Structure 1
Amino acid sequence: MEDIVSEDSGSGARVADHLVRHRGQLTRRWLRAVSRYMRIRPVNREVAAGLINQLPSLFGELCTVLAGGPPTEIVARRALHDARAHASERWRQGFALDELYLELDLLQRCIQGCVREYFAAAPSREGQTAIHECIDEFFSDAIRGAIAQFQAQQDRRVNDALGDRDRALAAQQRSEDRLRMAAEAAGLGIFEWDPDADAAVWENERMFGITGQSPERGPLSAEDFMAMLDRPEDVAHLRELLDAGRTSSADVHVVAGIRKVASDGHCIVEIAGRFMDDATGQRRVLVGTMADVTRRVHAEDALREADRRKDTFLATLAHELRNPLAPILNAAHLLHRPDLPAPQLRWIQGVVERHAKHLTHLIDDLLDLSRISAGKIRLRKETFDVRIAIGRAIEMNAASAAGHGHRLEVTGMQGAPLLVHGDPTRLTQVLSNLLDNAVKYTADGGHIRIGVQRMTHRVSIAVQDTGIGMDPALIPQMFEMFEQAPEASRGGKSGLGIGLSVAQSLMTMHGGTIEARSEGPGRGSRFTISLPLCDSPARRPHSSGPSGHEPAPAPRRVLIVDDNHDAAMSLALILDDHDVQIAGTATEAIRIAKDFRPEIVFLDLGLPDMSGLNVAAQLSKQTDAHRPFLVALTGYGQPEDREQAREAGFDRHLVKPAPIEEILRLVEDCGQTRR
């Protein structure tokens, strides 16, 4: 370009001057040409403004080249920069490549036409060819630079689009991987089924594990899978759902039992899916998951069964609690009659005592059940002869057995002591429960046998009866909480269904076992408990004297503190051989104790004006010579309640209703039994 212009720099300068003087005309001509030829894009105000703004830079660089100004290499670089900037702007405005080329080509034509007009009027045409070639070369470089810039912009857009696509595909792949991992962790099999071909694609190995199908044999068809279902109604339901999904976006949800292909093992599966169009949009497929929910279904069944048993238990409990209340209330009504004969009075006394003990037994069972469930029951273990517990249990149930005419036979009680390490009270409770059941479920005149047998390291105690017996298939359930035999097999007898559950828990805590056997309904039952023997000698109670007779108890000063006036008054009547005073509030108790100086205080914890714990703390501050023996007599019997009572200064803790024998013993021995 530099060689061409140098041939006649004078004519080039004159041409450049001509172009500058006709710049306005040249611009209008260019705009008209663009409006005429650029039919791809209508020329609007923004496009026209872009053309006018772009003209000075390229036009000025061209005039500099023609006038022979600065080195043309520098000018060419400037022109190339301006052309690329123009191309970037047109890219931003949404021009196509052919539109950019046409726009610059029309500018070149307009300038060439203006140069021809100059030489047509000039006296000499010297240098015209060189100037036209210079203009062509200038615009050739500019157009190439603009096109290169435009293509670079387009390549960047394509690369960005490809990058976005790759990132989207990578994100989709990560999402699918996470979904697959989550499905694997949750034990879900993933599948896709084509109803037209009855062909399936299994997305993970879990599908083969659930169905038992070998991976080498490939996925099962729908027909093959339905042949595995246990119940015909499940087959019909699944087939109905699959048929409906062929024409609608229906959801599929089925829970059914299946027989596995290879092992013939049984499991329960849950299928969840939805029909949708495939990637081509030409057919509908079912996409879904399959899970082995055997354990969940069994757990739900167990919960429903437990809920049913709980409802039955509550209804039975209400019945059992109302039963003893009726005779107690009737007896109370009879006591209002004047001049009751002594036999009738003794009968009323027996009625109240029997049914009150029955209520106490029910409440004790409920409390034991709660403590065992919460893990709060504590055993007071000692080494003793288990025959003592057997004797106490027999004593507790002998009167009831005699009332029904039962023949009670005991064998194996002779010989060396049968020493065990356990809680005598709790083991007596277990044995008494077994005897009570034997009496309850054996018809009048029946036979009950208690057999004791020493083995190498254990002792076995069996309670066998000739009663109504049990269905052998139901025996394992009898030891579950709230479980009872069916009504028809209980012979009309009632119960809470918790005694055997408590007994089994207590035996487990002693390292023992309890088993039940029966040859069937009407053929009797046999309950056997087994306990480990130990070698330590049993502790024997001290003899009360050479003759074995207890001396007559000395009268005691007794203070009873209870806001329940009936409870306090009835206890005072029982202790009428002693000097007894009653207080209904904590304030009254403290006032009486100051002057009365009681030797023993039976103190309720739930008083209206102050806690019995606070009263005990104040009474405990007295000197040992005048400090009373403190007994908590309360309905609160949890381990934490006993601990709080001990910390407050109580010497003993009795739970209402306390055995009268225990109360009498504490009154007699209060001076020697302080902790």
Structure 2
Amino acid sequence: MEDALFTLSQVADDLQTHRRRIARRWVRAVRQQTHIRTPGKEGMRQLLVQLPRLLSELCSTLRGEDLARAAARASRGARAYATDRWRQGYLIDELYLELNLLRRCTQSRVREFFACSGMRDHQIAAHDVVDDFFGKLIHSAIWQLQSQQSRRTTDALVQQKRVRDRLRVAAQAAGLGIFEWDIARDTAVWENERMYEITGQPIRKGPLSGNAFFDRLVHSNDARRIREAFSHAASTGEPLRETLVIKKVDSGEPRTVEISGQLTSAEAGSSVIIGTLADVTVRAHADATLRKANERKDVLLATLAHELRNPLAPVRTAAQLIKESGSTAQELRWIREVIERQTSHLSHLIDDLLDVSRISTGKIQLHLEVFDIRDAIRRALEITAPAAALKHHRVDFIGDDCAGAYVRGDLTRITQVMSNLLDNAIKYTTVDGHVRVTMLCNAGIASICVEDNGIGMDSELIPALFEVFEQAAPSGQGEAAGLGIGLAVARSLVQMHGGTVFAESDGPGSGSRFTVQLPLSDPPTCATKTDHVASEKDGRTLRVLVVDDNQDAATSLAIILSDMEVRTAFTGREAVEVAHAFRPQAVILDLGLPDLSGYEVARQIRAFGGSYRTCLIALTGYGQPEDRQRTREAGFDHHLVKPASPDSILSILAKI
């Protein structure tokens, strides 16, 4: 026994002495082995670092020193070695071959020892110890490598599950349905309940296959396109993104959806697409609405240009006739009437546009009072009478004897609504036509119907007539065009009064009926006259200063006021100088001047003081409520919007 221990100790000493030779053989053998990836510089360094430690544990085992402790140290060394190789991406067979080569190199040196020493006793025992040591060493290293790989696999699976859970939660929060479709086998997996909600497929029946999805859900107009898109994505691997219309399984309700997908790696003979399904019906409807609004805007701009050119053409012609000499009094009267009619038409167009802006921004204000609805109808009939006379229309009002037809509202705005409906009836009724206004009061509701025997309407177009910039298509019968905003304004104003307005027609050529319904109100406690009687002139000459940077506007207004003492100014500073010397009793002042604003001019004129107070009249193109509020705060007495009628200006001056 002692001889064996002595011999094994000598073997251990020899291995320690020749460990460099063993290392060189091992490295050379590893490099020559084709089944092991060639170690880099770092890999070779780890080989040489690990070898002395492993040989040291082997020598301790040969010497019989504390075998349990030596085995534990060897096991730790093997695990450390395996960990290093795992970090380099080694496989189990590569690790085994590398350690087995070390065993063979070590056994080769043991044989050389016994051959050189001439000793034969205990050689088998030495080889057995070496084999047993490396067997345990290889087992520990492989166990460690397997543990590392299992841990990595487990971590990857856990991470993958965490990612899938997060994606599922994110998809659910975004309203996305997740699906997987094997095209070759035509089998599908629906990952979440949202797929069933979007498609209307009952959960108990399971997911639809791809072909069933196309056949049962996809609209026929989209089916072929979507099939081709899926085939293209499956054959090329390119991402899939398509928008289509489906019919829900449970209700048949049409929905617009967006489908996205990507081809993934699959088994041989199969093509699997993983994707999402999103219900984009609301977005699609909003996009369609925006496109339609944009189209209506383009139509509006074209129509507005046309409508503005129409009145400008006769105004220009009238100006040319005035320029030419020799016009008779009758011709001059006709010219004046042309200019008045066309400028009135331009003002009407601008007022309609401003009303749309005020209503859309919620800035329109109603001046509420209790009045007889028949007053609004009579005023509207008076406003539209000239247009009806031009086309030889017969206009009847039935209901003038209706008693107690009081409403609470804005008389001017209700008059605007009725005149708008009458204007449309006249516009779309041919020459010698008939327009009838009827009024009925029943169950606390006043119903006013404007009926004509004109071109009529297609029933499909009626719901869109009250939208902004919508109008009936031309019939080719020469009716006047419009901006398509009058009915939208009328509907908004009626709704602000708590009423409704709707249209009816028996079809093209059968005339139209527009009915306004307003809630009735109790009669006022006392009747008051609303007509305003302007005061007459007292014969005194009024001093008036007209200020406008548009010299034509200022001069033409001065001519209208020629029976008064009038001065003109075209800049703010000039206006202040003239006012200081002229001491006007009234100043008609444009707000947008090139140097000083009209507000600053008003402030400086107010600062003059004196024994009289100058009446300041703002004449501007801005007519919003906030504009009127600002002129009041600046000290103006009146606010007129361009183009102001001469009568309104004369009415104000007559009161001074």
TM-score, normalised via structure 1 length: 0.81
Question: 1:60, 1:429 → 2: CA distance?
Answer: 113
- The 5 A counterparts of 1:305-320 are 305-320=292-307
Aligned with residue 202 of structure 1, among 169, 178, 190: 190
- The 5 A counterparts of 1:263-662 are 263-278=251-266, 280-414=267-401, 416=403, 418-488=405-475, 491-535=478-522, 536-537=524-525, 540-541=528-529, 550=536, 552=538, 554-623=540-609, 625-662=611-648
The secondary structure found in structure 1 opposite 2:168 is helix
Question: 1:193, 1:62 → 2: CA distance?
Answer: 61
The secondary structure found in structure 1 opposite 2:629 is helix
CA 1:468–1:42 in 2, change beyond 3 Å: closer, same or farther? closer
- For 2:164, the equivalent position in structure 1 comes to 176
CA 1:620–1:51 in 2, change beyond 3 Å: closer, same or farther? closer
Offset at 1:159?
3.4
Moved more, 504-513 or 198-207: 198-207
CA 1:309–1:215 in 2, change beyond 3 Å: closer, same or farther? same
Question: 2:209, 2:417 → 1: CA distance?
Answer: 59
The secondary structure found in structure 2 opposite 1:468 is coil
Offset at 1:571?
1.3
Offset at 1:562?
0.6
- For 1:666, the equivalent position in structure 2 comes to 652
Question: 1:620, 1:250 → 2: CA distance?
Answer: 76
- For 2:179, the equivalent position in structure 1 comes to 191
- Please say if residues 406 and 448 of structure 1, whose CA atoms lie closer than 8 Å, have aligned partners that are also in contact: yes
CA 1:451–1:661 in 2, change beyond 3 Å: closer, same or farther? farther
CA 1:384–1:581 in 2, change beyond 3 Å: closer, same or farther? farther
CA deviations over 1:389-446 (Å, ceiling 9, x no partner): 2222222122222232222222323465543332222222111111211222222222
User: What are the ranges of 5 or more consecutive residues in structure 2 without an aligned counterpart?
Assistant: 33-38, 86-94
Offset at 1:494?
1.0
Structure 1 counterpart of 2:209, which letter?
S
CA 1:171–1:572 in 2, change beyond 3 Å: closer, same or farther? same
- Please say if residues 191 and 289 of structure 1, whose CA atoms lie closer than 8 Å, have aligned partners that are also in contact: yes
Offset at 1:385?
3.0
Question: 2:220, 2:46 → 1: CA distance?
Answer: 76
The secondary structure found in structure 1 opposite 2:438 is strand
Structure 2 counterpart of 1:656, which letter?
K
Structure 2 counterpart of 1:249, which letter?
G
Question: 1:561, 1:475 → 2: CA distance?
Answer: 48
- Please say if residues 276 and 287 of structure 1, whose CA atoms lie closer than 8 Å, have aligned partners that are also in contact: yes
Question: 1:188, 1:599 → 2: CA distance?
Answer: 74
Question: 2:68, 2:543 → 1: CA distance?
Answer: 124
Offset at 1:275?
3.9
CA deviations over 1:279-330 (Å, ceiling 9, x no partner): x344222333333343333333333322222222211111111011111000
- For 1:123, the equivalent position in structure 2 comes to none
Question: 2:415, 2:84 → 1: CA distance?
Answer: 99
Aligned with residue 159 of structure 1, among 137, 147, 155: 147
Question: 2:454, 2:318 → 1: CA distance?
Answer: 32
- Please say if residues 600 and 628 of structure 1, whose CA atoms lie closer than 8 Å, have aligned partners that are also in contact: yes
- The 5 A counterparts of 1:94-109 are 94=85, 96-99=98-101
- Please say if residues 91 and 150 of structure 1, whose CA atoms lie closer than 8 Å, have aligned partners that are also in contact: no
- Please say if residues 548 and 593 of structure 2, whose CA atoms lie closer than 8 Å, have aligned partners that are also in contact: yes
Question: 1:30, 1:403 → 2: CA distance?
Answer: 123
User: What are the ranges of 5 or more consecutive residues in structure 1 without an aligned counterpart?
Assistant: 67-71, 121-127, 671-675
Count of aligned pairs between the two proteins: 634
- Please say if residues 176 and 276 of structure 2, whose CA atoms lie closer than 8 Å, have aligned partners that are also in contact: yes
Structure 2 counterpart of 1:206, which letter?
R
Structure 1 counterpart of 2:30, which letter?
R
Offset at 1:343?
0.5
Question: 2:254, 2:531 → 1: CA distance?
Answer: 68
CA deviations over 1:217-262 (Å, ceiling 9, x no partner): 3333344333336765533334444555664435555544344434
- The 5 A counterparts of 1:238-277 are 238-244=226-232, 247-249=235-237, 252-277=240-265
CA 1:490–1:646 in 2, change beyond 3 Å: closer, same or farther? farther
Larger radius of gyration: 1
Moved more, 358-367 or 218-227: 218-227
Question: 2:606, 2:135 → 1: CA distance?
Answer: 107
- Please say if residues 30 and 110 of structure 1, whose CA atoms lie closer than 8 Å, have aligned partners that are also in contact: no
Structure 1 counterpart of 2:565, which letter?
D
- For 1:673, the equivalent position in structure 2 comes to none
Question: 1:453, 1:51 → 2: CA distance?
Answer: 108
Offset at 1:591?
1.4
CA 1:477–1:538 in 2, change beyond 3 Å: closer, same or farther? farther
Moved more, 528-537 or 83-92: 83-92
Moved more, 85-94 or 186-195: 85-94
The secondary structure found in structure 1 opposite 2:304 is helix
The secondary structure found in structure 1 opposite 2:448 is strand
CA 1:430–1:92 in 2, change beyond 3 Å: closer, same or farther? closer
Moved more, 321-330 or 489-498: 489-498
Offset at 1:563?
0.9
CA 1:418–1:575 in 2, change beyond 3 Å: closer, same or farther? farther
CA deviations over 1:131-157 (Å, ceiling 9, x no partner): x99x979x96x9989987876665554
CA 1:173–1:410 in 2, change beyond 3 Å: closer, same or farther? same
Moved more, 568-577 or 159-168: 159-168
CA 1:247–1:590 in 2, change beyond 3 Å: closer, same or farther? closer
- For 1:124, the equivalent position in structure 2 comes to none
Question: 2:72, 2:264 → 1: CA distance?
Answer: 55
Aligned with residue 201 of structure 2, among 173, 198, 213: 213
CA 1:542–1:334 in 2, change beyond 3 Å: closer, same or farther? closer
CA 1:634–1:542 in 2, change beyond 3 Å: closer, same or farther? closer
Percent of counterpart pairs with the same letter? Answer: 43
TM-score, normalised via structure 2 length: 0.83
